[in-house]
Amino acid sequence: MRIVMAGASGFLGTELAGRLRQSGHDIVRLVRRPTARADEATWDPAQGRLDVEVLDGADAVINLAGANLGDRRWTAAYKRVLRSSRIDTTDTLAQAIGRLPAGQRPRTLLQASGVGWYGDTGDQPVTEDAPAGSTFLADLCRVWEAAARPAEDAGTRVVLLRTAPTIHAANAPLKLLLLPFKLGAGSRIGGGRQWMAWIAQEDWMAAAEFLLEREDVAGPVNVVSPRPVTNAEFTRELAHLLRRPALLRVPGPVLDLVIGELAGEAQRSQRVLPGVLSAAGFAWAYPGMDAALAAALRPEPAIRP
């Protein structure tokens, strides 16, 4: 396939681009600077600019663009960055797809989203048919997904990747937790009873490739493990693998003071299940947190494009 990818320089995008190239696909990376390689094309999503010829004849588009949710405090200004970095890119791609003649449009758009769509689900397990929550992230995901609608209206198969945090030593949240846990300062967050949706990075990449090829799957897809865990279970498993104690608890008000509104998201309970992937027959290599953490703590060399 010829695949046009936005967000190819991010952590997941870099790894996925390398994996797809190894599978024999041609990847065109969208960049916001003058091109430096033959496999790049320039665009300006902030201004809605993308030459439709870049998409002409492409088999698929993958959009993983978006500012990092955990990089800094969610000030009013950074919330605008989080929103524009997702909405502008998605809208620019979807509108460009819609402007192409029917026979020249990409057949598939894999569009990033997140399990933040569901807000706080408490102990209730949810699948893709659950409504959006009422949090900032839920509203962001709702508008983000809606921005892809012009591509769907034009007849392109749109798959909305409602992704959970990925488990990998070089990526948040595990990257941020390894040092304190190794120092014996691993802690439950709040009461620790809140559910965590998650997925091993290897399974995330395999799911993306699976969904790229499964033309009978469209709409929202929870890209998560079939076995969510509580924060207490995650804390216990990581401490066990690192052979360190984890007896502490970080109270919610302390998190609020340190990281602001992001603390609320860290304490939300999300018991999200992969209804669509399970029904489609996807096979997880690491369905359980114990195996996923063990693999993440002895990672293989990263795939590079």
CATH number at residue 102: 3.40.50.720
- Residue indicated by tokens 């399970």: 278
Crossing angle of helices 201-213 and 289-296, rounded to 10°: 110
Domain count, the chain: 1
CA 196, 125, 145, 97 dihedral sign is: positive
Residue 86 lies in a domain: yes
pLDDT per residue, tens digit, the chain (305 aa), is: 999 999 998 989 999 999 999 999 999 999 999 988 889 999 999 999 999 999 998 999 999 999 988 777 888 999 999 999 999 999 999 999 999 998 899 999 999 999 999 999 999 999 999 999 999 999 999 999 999 999 999 999 999 999 999 998 887 777 777 777 777 777 777 778 899 999 999 999 999 999 999 999 999 999 999 999 998 898 888 888 888 877 666 544 444 444 455 555 767 899 999 999 999 999 999 999 999 999 998 755 544 44
Residue 46 lies in a domain: yes
Our CA angle for 37, 39, 200, nearest 5°, is: 115
Residue 90 lies in a domain: yes
The pair of structure tokens assigned to 186 is 């691993």
pTM recorded for the entire structure: 0.90
Residue 302 lies in a domain: no
Residue 303 lies in a domain: no
CA 148/CA 134 separation, integer angstroms = 21
CA 128/CA 146 separation, integer angstroms = 15
Residue 225 lies in a domain: yes
The residue range of the domain holding 60 is: 2-296
CA 222/CA 281 separation, integer angstroms = 14
Residue 243 lies in a domain: yes
Residue 115: closest CA among 36, 207, 8, 196: 196
Distance of CA 111 to the CA centre of its chain: 10
CA 63/CA 136 separation, integer angstroms = 21
Residue 301 lies in a domain: no
Answer yes or no: are the C-beta atoms of 151 and 102 closer than 8 Å.
no
